Amino acid sequence: MASTRIDNGHGKDEMVHVQTNIDDMNPELCPYVGEKLMAAGAHDVYWIPIIMKKGRPGLLLNVLTRNSLLAAIETVIFEETTTLGLRYMKTDCKGLERYIEQVDTPWGAIAVKVGRHNGKVVQFSPEYADCEAAARNNGIPLKDVYEVARRSYVTE
C-alpha cells in the first residue's frame, strides 16, 4: 500500500490560538467563515456555543494557525464576522505523523488518513469526501462505505 506523507506544519513556526466571542452574527455564516479561515492557512477552526453577558447566546470562534499566517487570519475574521476584537495565546502543538493511504473497496479507491506515533499506526480514518462520493454514486448508505473502507485498511 503506497503512502503519501502529510505535512501537519506543527513545529515549523510558533503556533497561535486566536479566539473571539461573537453574539450578533447569523450562525449560518459559520461554515463559510471556517472555510475561508482554512483557505487562509488555519490548521484548525472550531466554534463553541456560549452564554455571554446578560444571558445572550453567542459563539466562541477558535482558530489555530502559524504565527506567520496571523495577518491573513485576522483579515478573514475581521472582514467576515461581526467581532470587534481578538485574543491571542501562543501555544505548542504536537501532531502525529500523518499519511494518506488508498484502500480498494467495491466502489473504488478510498483515501484513508493514517496517524503514526514512533512509527506505529495509532489512528486511521477514511476520508469523508471519498466515502460520501462513493455512497452517493452507488446509492448505498454512507456508514456502509466507512465500514468497508476501515476493514479494507485493517486487512491490507
- Range of the structural domain that residue 135 is part of: 96-155
User: For cell 496517524, what's the residue?
Assistant: 115
Q: pLDDT at position 9, please?
A: 54
At 108-138, the pLDDT tens digits run 999 999 999 998 999 999 999 999 999 999 9
Task: Report the 3 state secondary structure along 8-59.
Answer: CCCCCCCEEEEEEEECCCCHHHHHHHHHHHHHCCCCEEEEEEEECHHHCEEE
Model confidence, pTM: 0.75
Grid coordinates standing for 70? Answer: 496571523
* Assigned domain for 72 exists: yes
Is 121 in contact with 128 (CB distance < 8 Å)? no
Instruction: Check whether residue 74 and residue 118 sit in a common domain.
Output: no
Structural domains counted in the chain: 2
CATH of the domain at 128: 3.10.20.300
* Assigned domain for 107 exists: yes
DSSP state of 119: T
Instruction: Check whether residue 84 and residue 101 sit in a common domain.
Output: no
